[in-house]
A and B are shown apart, each in its own frame.
Chain A
Amino acid sequence: MEAVINIPISQTAKESVTAEQMIVFEDVSKFYGEILGVNRVNLQIAPGITSLVGPNGSGKTTLMNLMTGLIQPTRGRVKVLDYSANDPEIFFRKVGYCSQFDSFPAGHTGYEFVYSYLRVHGYAKNDADRMTARAIERVGLTEAAKRKVAGYSKGMRQRIRLAQSIAHQPSVIVLDEPLNGLDPMARAEAIRLFRELADEGLHLIISSHILHEVNKMSDRVIFIKEGYIKAEGEVQGVRNELEEHPLQIVVRCDQPSFLATKLFAEPHIVEVHIHDDRKGLFVKTRNTDKFYDLLNRVVVTSDLNIETVATVDNDLNAVYHYLIGARQEGE
């Protein structure tokens, strides 16, 4: 098994969060008979938006189901804000889960669906009414609320499930592929809602395949493949740790040959190509910080004029490709 790359959100964030505010997986494994769900997962998830990223069947939903007690770990322990799912009466006041099951109790309108389960929580009629209206408003379904869920489009069903999971105002919201089936406008709205909820101090655990949107909204990402956690932390941090994949940077400047000679002197520089038009170069480095230090020094001490500096592969797509896609191909 390879070492897990673990990059905290930031030192300050880590220090300010206590165990009671974290979602903790302690050596958690889940087997379905002989089939591996997830294995030896150790995680500490702080407030904010944490995205679970991985290919189909990698264990994302298993991880979410374990988090919410829909399945029991074969080994290990899961605590959410120091609560266990074995005590649902307390646990689910704090946790809401919008699962991937696209199914509903028969015959309900959107409003009744959300309202009924709030009554099951134990909320009185007036409170349940108010909370239902609020949750449905949040997901932008007020106009369709009185229609039968069976007649909803896929996107509307997704939104009403989202409303049901946030209606009781939990502190932790677990969302399995919440952007599936939403049109671009609704997706943007959903992401804005997630961001607002996260800014209120909530935990949002989101699984998604839409990488550029994950990139846009997440505070941290957990990469999972074949039941193992491959990396976790901020995308930038994870990217910097991928030593076998040097960071690729494009620099457009007036003296690429001069800059190239400076760069070659540095041990962290792996490769330099001067562009055919001789107005820029392509650099591969194992240490981004040192590269930028060097670049600053060169600019200050010489008459080098830099037009642009752009990284080629430090986004989530690239990290996903290196961590999950590339190895998959190589296997």
Chain B
Amino acid sequence: MNAVAIEAPTLGSGWSLWRRQIAGILRLEIKKNFLSKRALPMYLLAAIPVVIMMMLALFDRGMRRGVRTNFAEAMIVFSNLHEGLILRTVIFFGCAWIFMNLFRGEVVDKSLHYYFLSAVKREVLVVGKYLSGLIASCTLFLLTTAGALFFLYLPRGVQANLDYIFNGPGWAQITDYLGITILACVGYGALFMVIGLFFRNPIIPALFVYGWEWLNFLLPPMLKKISIIHYLHSLVPVPVNEGPLAIIGEPTPQWIAITGMLIVTAIVLFLASMRIRRMEIHYGGE
């Protein structure tokens, strides 16, 4: 061991520094989100809808739904799958896992203090961590949606699909579904990150949110608006039948749904920043 003084390079300040710091955080986190053992359940979860759609494309020969011959029926099947399985289950649980792990996972691994001992504002850390979760969840679940859509279109053949996408409503539907997937990651991601930060045992609030989101169709119109699935439901290109018990509310206009979700996400991130400023390192009880 030897000590020879060398001049430390200057770090600068402001946006250019924060950009570099966020890049540094992303470098660490994205690797963790994609390549660690923890990512395995996510891959399995994300693959389920794709596998189901693939099986449907390959084996639905003369079955009840007849999706190979009846594309309108296939769209309804996909719409149900997207809302019931991709949004309410895969993205919900996927985001819960990814975003609650951002900080709680570090506490469990006893490695959060390395971030807290870095010359980085804790607000920047929140943004960096959130972005890393968003990149991981969006990449994974966009692939899920895109994969499921691919197998939805596959049985119709190339020409029919090209016509549907470029001369029909196909392109708008694809972008709508992908956009809804991103919005779901943005909304659920922020919600679960803040739950992970505020609650030592985030399972109970997460289960409450799960129940609330699933029972959304039974809620009166005012309460419906206090949920993420309501806004996502308003955006779907092919409406999903919520069943005979559903209380039908006025759908929220698209621009309100999108900007509302983004504003709520910003507020939630602000709360997370406030929380993390006072956060202490206690690894003992985890």
Contact across chains for B117 and A92 when beta carbons are under 8 A apart: yes
Q: Which residue of A lies closest to B2 (CB)?
A: A138
Instruction: Report how many A-B pairs have Cβ atoms within 8 Å.
Output: 128
A105 to B30, CA, bound (A): 13
Name the residue of chain B whose CB is nearest to the CB of A121: B119
Q: State how many residues of chain B have any CB contact under 8 Å with chain A.
A: 44
Given A70-B117, A71-B281, decide whether A107 and B6 contact each other with a Cβ distance below 8 A.
no
Residues of B within 8 A of A131 (CB): 8-9
Measured in the bound complex, the distance between the Cα atoms of B49 and A91 in whole Å is 48
Report the Cα distance A138→B1, complex, angstroms.
Answer: 4
Given contacts A107-B31, A193-B3, contact A122 B21 (CB under 8 A): yes
Interface residues of A in 107-121 (CB under 8 A from B): 107, 116-121
Cα–Cα distance between A120 and B119 once the two chains are bound (Å): 8
Closest beta carbon of chain B to A61's beta carbon, Å: 11
Q: In the complex the two chains form, what is the Cα distance from A101 to B13 in whole Å? A: 30
Interchain CB contact under 8 A, B117 and A123: no
Q: How large is the interface on A (under 10, 10 to 19, 20 to 34, 35 or more residues)?
A: 35 or more
B26 CB to nearest chain A CB (Å):
10
Contact at B110–A103, with CB atoms within 8 Å? yes
- A32 and chain B: residue at smallest CB distance: B282
Residue B27 interfacial (CB < 8 Å): yes
* A89, A99, A193, most chain B CB atoms within 10 A: A89
Complex: A1 Cα to B187 Cα, angstroms: 54
**Most chain B CB within a 10 A radius of its CB, from A69, A105, A123:** A105
Considering residues A86, A99, A117, A127, which has the most beta carbons from chain B within 10 angstroms of its beta carbon? A117
The residue of chain A having its C-beta at the shortest distance from the C-beta of B118 within the complex is A120
Q: Restricting to A24-60, which residues have a CB under 8 Å from any CB of B?
A: none
B30 to chain A, nearest CB (A): 12
Is B109 at the interface (CB under 8 A from chain A)? Answer: yes
Q: Shortest Cβ distance from A216 into chain B, in angstroms?
A: 16
**Contact B119 A168, beta carbon cutoff 8 Å:** yes
Q: List which B36-59 residues lie within 8 A (CB) of chain A.
A: 36-37
Q: Is there a chain A Cβ closer than 8 Å to B72's Cβ?
A: no
- The answer to whether B6 and A97 have CB atoms under 8 Å apart is no
| B2 surroundings in chain A (CB, below 8 A) | 137-138, 192-193, 196
Select A140's contact among B1, B17, B109, beta carbons within 8 Å.
B1
CA distance A118 to B283 in the complex (A): 24
| Most chain A CB atoms below 10 A, which of B24, B35, B118, B122 | B118
Q: Give Cα distance in the complex from A65 to B114, angstroms.
A: 13
Contact A122 B120 (CB under 8 A): yes
* Alpha-carbon distance A121/B5, docked complex (angstroms): 20
- Chain A residues near B113 (CB-CB < 8 A): 70, 99, 101
A200–B119 touching, CB < 8 Å: no
The CA of A193 and the CA of B1, in the complex, are separated in Å by 6
In Å, the complex CA distance between A127 and B17 comes to 14
Complex Cα–Cα for A190 and B37 (A): 35
Q: Which among A119, A134, A165 is the interface contact of B24 at CB below 8 angstroms? A: A119
Contacts of B115 in A (CB 8 A): 120
Closest to B5 in A: A200
Please, how many angstroms separate the alpha-carbon atoms of A137 and B1 in the complex? Answer: 7
Provide the B92-115 mask, 1 if CB < 8 A to any CB of A, else 0: 000000000000000001110111
- What are 15 A-B pairs with beta-carbon distances under 8 A? A71-B282, A72-B280, A89-B119, A90-B119, A92-B119, A101-B110, A104-B111, A107-B31, A121-B118, A121-B120, A122-B20, A123-B11, A127-B9, A169-B6, A193-B1
Contacts A131-B8, A138-B1, A140-B1 supplied; 6 other A-B pairs, CB < 8 Å: A68-B117, A121-B119, A122-B24, A139-B1, A169-B8, A192-B2
